Structure 1
Amino acid sequence: MPNRRRVVETLTQDVVGAQVFNGLIGECVSMPHADYEAVQDATAAILERVVRAVDWPRLLREASFRHDIVHPDQEPSAEDWSPATGVCGECLAEAMLADDLGAQDWERKPTIPREHSSTDWPATVARTFDHREGAGWHPYK
């Protein structure tokens, strides 16, 4: 499955929960299909915004640094290794999650803690969405 579709489907399910689909026509039948598609469009917009926000040269540089430290002897033929980047998916993921302002100390901290895996982010967004008006923006004005 393409990464874009996988991310959009994962985020959509986080927002609306598990839904029931008609296997013949591929439409959501447990909620209005147009609403389901609107959430998919919204999560695609989130993905596109994240992709634009990433400093790709820095990400590749950090992933390369980590790869050289954590996997110095990894063979280029390893399944998860990419000749295009010279790093593996694990190193790309860790570099994406790194939060140090300078270069990450991969020897001391090779794995970035996953602190938000149980955060119910859709509920938090829904609960605080009314603050958006406080910034002077309203979708219907």
Structure 2
Amino acid sequence: MKRHPLNRALRIDKMTLAALEATLRLYLDEKKALQEIPVLRMMTESIDIIRQKADRLWMDVSMRMGPVAVCQMKEVYSAVGGGSMPLAEIPSVALAVMPKHMSVNQLDEAMRRYDPPIFGRIAKDQYLLDLRTIQDDEIIRVADGLVEVLQVK
């Protein structure tokens, strides 16, 4: 430590090391890893399961939405992310929302400020909620947030 004081600042702590070890142990059993590591579960989820989640979200939102926005399901591609797969995309389904009384940018900002924050993306004047990134137990909260942000009673 005396020869390299920066080592103290960059040294990994025991909690981080324990979390890393637990994650790496999950990878020893592929089935368990696919079930318990969220990013792997999202990347490998079948398009049929994603469509079912999209149907549930669309049904919930459309029953309560009224005339304040138009919602439809849309086939999209999800970006896998950076690092080792910066350009990789996988098929997905999104709920496309076109609000009538605010811009999609205003909707996006309001959703990010919602508690808990809900993150979508904007494409071609549509606010997209990609169902590959929304878990089953989050669908009702996402629907509630969208309805509340659009001020639907």
Give me the TM-score of the superposition, normalised by structure 1. Answer: 0.34
User: Which structure would you say has the larger RCO, counting Cα contacts within 8 Å and 6 or more residues apart?
Assistant: 2
Looking at secondary structure, tell me which structure has more strand per residue: 2
